[in-house]
Structure 1
Amino acid sequence: MRVFETLDELAAAAELPLGVSAWHTVTQEQVDQFAAATGDHQWIHVDPDRAAAGPFGTTIAHGYFTLSLIPTFSEQLFAVTGARMGVNYGTEKVRFPAPVPVGSRVRDMAEILSVTRTPEGARVAMRHTIEIEASPKPACVADTLALVVF
């Protein structure tokens, strides 16, 4: 895990990889809980029997579920201990190149794209590439923005 104590340390890490998170197994229970929280109960996510005969042969995670794993992965990859707080600012671009079958293992490879100083601290642009174990395509590639207040 990379630890940044100052804005200068964070800025110096721009354009550098942060590393790779641990693998996370996507379970049907997690997918069902996400469906309940969001109201997205499409059968390809929540009906294992119907999904078995569908295009993926099993249920798949929601794309936005996969995206929502980024904070969990980020906690494994870096910390900004010198900051008072950090908040999500937005997303520049998100793509879901491959579906995530339930039971798959996924992990995040993250890098800092840029650090832009602001009056409060910094706006940090990052790229998260969420891989699926043994898949040639990633599940998700997301360019995110965070505000870090020092």
Structure 2
Amino acid sequence: MLAQLVFFILLLFLLGKFAWGPLMDMMKKREDHIASEIETAEKSRNEAEKASKEAAEELKRTRQEAHSIIEEAKKVGQKQEKDIIESARKEAERLKETAQQDIIQEKEKAIQALQDQVASLSVQIASKVIEKELNASDQEKLINEYIKEVGDKR
């Protein structure tokens, strides 16, 4: 029994020296390797989260910039629309006033032409009727005065 005890102790010593030590070293290396992998994975996860947050913030800023650009474009478009409408309105007013002035001028020309024709016809008729009691210039003067009086009464 003593021999078995000695062999058992010797076996424990040999196992401790040659098997247990390398096995524990290998387990320690494996534990260190797993810990470093976990640490690396944690760092990668943190970096990924940070990158994700930065990308989300950049996307948010980009959306805000795009929104502000769109709003500015809308404002510019509305201003241009108002300017175009105002310009068209002013041009229409100007054309209307020009047309009214042209109508008044044409009306005055037509009235003057009509007065001239009436005066001329009146002179011719009067000259035939009166048979030269008055000269032509006096008759035309009298007729023009009469036409002006009639025109003023209108």
As a proportion of its length, which structure holds more strand? 1
TM-score (norm 1): 0.19
As a proportion of its length, which structure holds more helix? 2
TM-score (norm 2): 0.19
